């Protein structure tokens, strides 16, 4: 364990400081495709009983009309966090009839691209902005790519946390906001260095349905007549099978400081890209994308982690970060575990807290001049495609090191962070979350990705058939434990309120859509897009 990590852990291991550490927050956004009773992509509209996707705080859609996004509030505890996620699932299952939530990151068998419905958010200008943005994604990346699902883990420390662990060399007159932003960015640098470990431990998408590729060339192997895979892959979702795009390939935002990161993204949302200029923005009188820039909006940049700040009404995310700094981080690389009813459990969320605490406390040197650390990116890509390969080596500081050796060293350091969290909360769950991860490093067959492949082989079922059967079992569990009483009344009230809010937006808006888009691009619109 490094001297810096050891000293920071000791500083935090004081009664008053433990209390500050205990006030950190975590929330979950879980995506799931709706499928019909035969496991095919649902072509039905977003169920009205769930509320309005545009305005509901915890039940919305992502790219496709069928891609639900279930959002918890931020919590200090893991039990209430997972309980809220389970409650949302229970309510959803009471409103979607015979449909089932596809509990896997890689999609179900998909229809031809033209038949994949894009999410609809109503006729208000902000609703149309969200819809047109998704039309642009279809042109740029294809619709199938936008049906990939994952779990996003939102995480923050209390604002009083950062002054407790001072950074050597910080200017004495540095503002609290700038210090907090700089330290979150340092956390992100370390996350990029070490997130390959998360892919090894929790990646659960080593295979996919052949339909997903929509005829595109690939280097995957065939597991059966309908299933493609890589034998040692952990997360094809996070591989270069995902968002291959020349425009984004040249975009490597620097995580050495927040201003540079923001400047690179601002350049991307302001610079036209020739291929997108060929599409234009309006065809045959219909908007096809918001603009022809490298990114339509900043959230189009795909990354495994993002610095975030809750934006005010009418505020672009970039402006929110620039004016008020980083408030939390959004971890975006976690696969859905298909064996778990909500795709994640408390062991995983506790480990993520310990991992992120380690990333915050460990020394985080700047990346070399020129931006993103290519070694870290290459390690990540190696693990998502070959993570369980016997004897696999990664690159640490320019030297080869066995994945197993490095993983065990990291787990030793994360163990110390978990032990502190146990003392903070008077429990043993954080330390207990480490043991299953050590077991996975010693025995790769215990990883979710290996378990998925073994289940496919032993069942003799295709990816499509096996994942639908798993999803159907989870559906039976939730339907056997429905929402009732006050909880059901609460969800129905939220649904009604969201419909009323959307109707008010549509009734009260002024100005035409072109004016609204221009105002949004200038950062002056009446809503945000995600």
Give pTM, 2 decimals: 0.96
Quick check: 332 and 243 in contact, CB under 8 A? no
Total H helices, total E strands in the chain: 19, 14
**Structure tokens, 83:** 């309980």
**Structure tokens, 514:** 């072109």
**How many other CB atoms are found less than 10 A from the CB of residue 1?**
13
- 3 state SS of 215: coil
**CA dihedral for 243, 249, 255, 260, sign (positive or negative):** negative
**Structure tokens, 347:** 């062991």
DSSP-derived secondary structure for 63-85: SBTTEEEEEPPPBSSHHHHHHHH
φ/ψ of residue 218, rounded to 5: -160, 170
| Helices 513-521/125-141 angle, 10° precision | 70
DSSP character for 372? Answer: S
Going by C-alpha positions, the residue among 106, 224, 239, 200 that lies closest to residue 445 is 200
Identify the bridge partners of residue 330 per DSSP, sorted by sequence position: 154, 306
DSSP-derived secondary structure for 381-406: HHHHHHTTSTT-EEEETTEEEEHHHH
Identify the bridge partners of residue 155 per DSSP, sorted by sequence position: 26, 329
Tell me the chain's radius of gyration from C-alpha atoms.
Answer: 23
Separation CA 518–CA 324 (nearest Å): 24
Categorise residue 280: left if φ over 0, alpha if ψ from -120 to 50, beta otherwise.
left
CA atoms within 13 A on the CB side of 262: 20
* Residue 525, pLDDT score: 39
DSSP-derived secondary structure for 354-375: HHHHHHHHS--PPPPTTSS-HH
- 3 state SS of 60: strand
What are the pLDDT tens digits along the chain (530 aa)?
579 999 999 999 999 999 999 999 999 999 999 999 999 999 999 999 999 999 999 999 999 999 999 999 999 999 999 999 999 999 999 999 999 999 999 999 999 999 999 999 999 999 999 999 999 999 999 999 999 999 999 999 999 999 999 887 788 888 999 999 999 999 999 999 999 999 999 999 999 999 898 888 889 999 999 999 999 999 999 998 755 556 676 676 768 899 989 998 999 999 999 999 998 999 999 999 999 999 999 989 989 999 999 987 667 889 899 999 999 999 999 999 999 999 999 999 999 999 999 999 999 999 886 545 788 999 999 999 999 999 999 999 999 999 999 999 999 999 999 999 999 999 999 999 999 999 999 999 999 999 999 999 999 999 999 999 999 999 999 999 999 999 999 999 999 999 999 999 999 988 899 999 998 888 743 344 45
* Residue 465, pLDDT score: 98
Name the residue with tokens 């201003």.
Answer: 259
Give the contacts of 456 (CB within 8 A, at least 6 positions apart): 207, 223, 224, 227, 229, 462, 463, 466
CATH code, 3-521: 3.30.590.20
Going by C-alpha positions, the residue among 287, 20, 346 that lies closest to residue 160 is 20
Separation CA 70–CA 91 (nearest Å): 11
Spell out the long-range contacts of 486-489 with Cβ–Cβ below 8 A and sequence spacing 24 or more.
487/87, 487/91, 488/91, 488/94
């Amino acid at each position: 364990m490094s001297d810096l990590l050891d000293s920071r852990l000791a500083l935090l291991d004081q009664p008053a400081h433990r209390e500050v550490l205990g006030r950190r927050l975590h929330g979950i956004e879980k995506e799931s495709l709706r499928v019909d009773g035969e496991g095919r992509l649902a072509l039905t509209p977003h169920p009205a009983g769930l509320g309005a996707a545009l305005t509901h705080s915890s039940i919305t859609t992502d790219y496709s009309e069928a891609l639900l996004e279930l959002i918890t509030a931020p919590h200090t505890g893991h039990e209430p966090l997972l309980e809220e996620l389970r409650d949302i699932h229970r309510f959803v299952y009471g409103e979607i009839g015979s449909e089932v939530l596809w509990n896997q990151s890689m999609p179900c068998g998909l229809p031809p691209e033209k038949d994949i419905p894009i999410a609809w958010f109503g006729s208000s200008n902000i609703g149309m902005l969200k819809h047109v943005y998704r039309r642009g994604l279809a042109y740029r990346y294809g619709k199938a790519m936008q049906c990939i699902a994952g779990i996003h883990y939102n995480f923050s420390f209390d604002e009083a946390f950062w002054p407790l662990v001072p950074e050597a060399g910080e200017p004495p007159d540095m503002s609290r906001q700038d210090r907090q932003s700089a330290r979150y960015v340092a956390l992100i640098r370390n996350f990029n260095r070490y997130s390959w470990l998360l892919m090894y431990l929790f990646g659960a998408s080593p295979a996919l349905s052949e339909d997903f590729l929509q005829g595109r060339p690939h280097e995957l192997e065939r597991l059966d007549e309908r299933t493609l895979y890589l034998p040692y892959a952990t997360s094809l979702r996070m591989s270069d099978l995902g968002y291959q795009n020349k425009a984004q390939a040249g975009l490597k935002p620097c995580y050495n400081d927040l201003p540079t990161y923001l400047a690179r993204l601002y350049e991307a949302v302001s610079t036209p890209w020739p291929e997108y200029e060929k599409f234009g923005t309006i065809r045959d009188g219909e908007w096809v994308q918001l603009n022809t820039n490298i990114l339509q909006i900043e959230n189009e940049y795909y990354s495994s982690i993002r610095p975030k700040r809750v934006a005010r009404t009418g505020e672009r995310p970039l402006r929110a970060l620039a004016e008020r700094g980083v408030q939390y981080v959004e971890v975006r690389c976690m696969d859905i575990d298909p064996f778990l009813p909500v795709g994640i459990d408390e062991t995983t969320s506790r480990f993520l807290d310990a991992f992120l605490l380690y990333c915050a406390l460990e020394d985080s040197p700047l990346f070399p001049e020129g931006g993103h650390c290519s070694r870290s990116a290459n390690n990540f890509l190696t693990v998502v495609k070959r993570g369980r390969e016997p004897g696999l080596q990664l690159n640490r500081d320019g030297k080869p090191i066995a994945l197993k050796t490095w993983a065990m060293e990291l787990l030793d350091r994360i163990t110390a962070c978990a032990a502190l969290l146990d003392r903070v909360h008077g429990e043993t769950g954080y330390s207990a979350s480490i043991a299953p991860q050590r077991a996975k490093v010693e025995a790769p067959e215990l990883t979710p990705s290996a378990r998925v492949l073994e289940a496919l082989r032993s069942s003799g079922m295709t990816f499509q058939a096996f994942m639908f059967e798993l999803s159907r079992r989870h559906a039976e569990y939730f339907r056997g434990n429905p929402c009732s009483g006050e909880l059901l009344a609460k969800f129905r009230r939220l649904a009604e309120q969201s419909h009323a809010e959307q109707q008010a937006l549509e009734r009260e808006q002024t100005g035409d859509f072109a004016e609204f888009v221009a105002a949004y691009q200038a950062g002056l619109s009446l809503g945000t897009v995600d």
